Amino acid sequence: MKTLPEKGKNAENVLKELEEYARNDYEPHSKRMWGHIYYAGQKELVELARKAYLMFMDKTMLDFTTFPSLLRMEREVVGMAASLLGGDENVVGNFTYGGTESIMLALKAAREKFRKEKGKDVIPEVILPATAHPAFWKSAEYLGFKAVRSGLNDELRADVDHMSELMGARTAVIVGSAPNYPFGMVDDIRSLSDLALDSGVWLHVDACLGGFSLPFFRKLGEKVPDFDFSIEGVNSISADYHKYGFSPRGASVVLYRNAKLREGQIFVMAAWPGYPLVNTAVLSTRSAGTLAATWAVMNYLGIEGYLRLAEKMLYAKRRLIDGLAELGFELIGKPEGPVLAFTSDNLNLFQISSLMAEKGWYVQSQPGSKQLGFPRSLHFSVNPGHADVVDKFIEDMRDAVSRAGKGYPDVTSFDVSKLEIGKGDIPEDMELINELIHSMPPEVVESFFKYVINELIFRP
């Protein structure tokens, strides 16, 4: 176990050590990552965001009365988001540190409203299409909702009829994605809105990915279904500045159709000897750096800047779809969003992902689930910078395909001792692990992960 050094080290050495630590990391700006990273590919933009971040890094968003600039910036970045998402002057919202936090707050607001109407003893239910982000399942666990999974239709969008069948007196919230993370499709928010209005339940639209990409795709002539406050039944929307808003990590927004709906989000505590604590978010003390960086990036880009970036993303997306189809990968569904996935029955996707990692590319494996009928796939979050490298990427994929085995190995023949998950190590053979995840029941995968994470990986 590493302990606090007796004597401090000089700053130069500390930084050198950190550089050494980072040696095996991917470089976030290298354009080599097709997942987890959202990057405009513009040096000036990153420099601006860093300067703005540093200017406000030491200020805290804990108490809105201390630093007036923070309140002003928050109101402005919320306004910019609301105006992109069909909001009128009644729409309100708050800056948060991520999509998960935005979703958790919206569910809390919905739960408080539900409790007022139905009493505190009824356990509220949230109906989640299979493609809804795990942040909803996590929020349900934190907030005491029962989460109910609903199916997908032929187009792999939320099956609205199935959702309708699952709804009852305990249903508090229904959810649609714009688009969903695994495949990039936008759910039929209009039909979900009709359901919500008919039954008086809360409709949340998760536009974490689409909030700052779909409006620009649409302006560029792409076919994008309606998904925002222009649809009457939409109560709240989550949208991530730190994804396609291109601000640094730690920036998202939760929006409500009107202030009445937000009431349950806000936490106030005046009954202690300290200052009255007012929280609009889950987190309390937090750096204002990401807020300032978000404000700076949005003002720097403007609609024009986002449109230019969206053009590049659409170019890279088209090249990727054509190039990978030619190599035998099968595009899943008809994704309107900036993310998409490919499946294959006869190419070993997980092995291809490992071969690409050897070439320095990050390609995200989605193991899916045999039991739940979710396909194995490779996920791609398309970034503007990918326009410059997509052709090279496809060439490297061609090589990986030619070297990879055909089809998938039989898991029962696996030598599990090869797994070698040691204390504090990140497992190396992800190919094997992904195939196991695909084949095992999800509850088994979940307990296995909890054990490994708790007992082995996160140790000092």
Ligand X SMILES: *Cc1c(COP(=O)(O)O)cnc(C)c1O
Q: Which residues bind ligand X (CB under 6 A)?
A: 98-100, 133, 135, 177, 181, 206, 208-209, 240, 252
Number of residues that this document lists for the chain: 460
Pairing between β-strand 364-366 and β-strand 377-381 as defined by DSSP bridges? antiparallel
d(CA 192, CA 215): 20
CB of 348 to ligand X, least distance (A): 26
- 233-to-109, 205, 350 alpha-carbon distances in Å: 16, 10, 41
Toward ligand X, which CB reaches closer, 133 or 157? Answer: 133
CB of 99 to ligand X, least distance (A): 2
Q: Which residue, among 232, 240, 290, has the nearest Cα to 74 in the 3D structure?
A: 290
- 456-to-424, 425, 432 alpha-carbon distances in Å: 6, 8, 19
Toward ligand X, which CB reaches closer, 239 or 314? Answer: 239
**Tokens 């299409």 sit at which residue?**
129
Toward ligand X, which CB reaches closer, 110 or 352? Answer: 110
CB of 415 to ligand X, least distance (A): 35
Toward ligand X, which CB reaches closer, 179 or 435? Answer: 179
d(CA 367, CA 341): 12
Single-letter code of the amino acid located at 325: A
- 158-to-116, 150, 427 alpha-carbon distances in Å: 29, 7, 34
Toward ligand X, which CB reaches closer, 132 or 349? Answer: 132
Toward ligand X, which CB reaches closer, 351 or 366? Answer: 366
CB of 65 to ligand X, least distance (A): 28
Return the number of other C-beta atoms located less than 10 Å from residue 100's C-beta. 21
The residue nearest ligand X at its CB is: 99
DSSP 216-279: HHHHTT------STTSTTEEEEEE-TTTTT-PPSS-EEEEESSHHHHGGG-EEE--SSSPPEEE
CB of 205 to ligand X, least distance (A): 10
d(CA 147, CA 407): 35
Toward ligand X, which CB reaches closer, 241 or 342? Answer: 241
CB of 175 to ligand X, least distance (A): 10
Toward ligand X, which CB reaches closer, 250 or 385? Answer: 250
Beta bridge partners of 176: 205
Q: What angle do CA 314, 320, 321 make, to 5 degrees?
A: 90
CB of 398 to ligand X, least distance (A): 29
CB of 280 to ligand X, least distance (A): 17
259-281: string of b/e by CB count within 10 Å (b at 16+)? eebbebbeeeeeeeeeeeeebbb
CB of 383 to ligand X, least distance (A): 14
Toward ligand X, which CB reaches closer, 99 or 385? Answer: 99
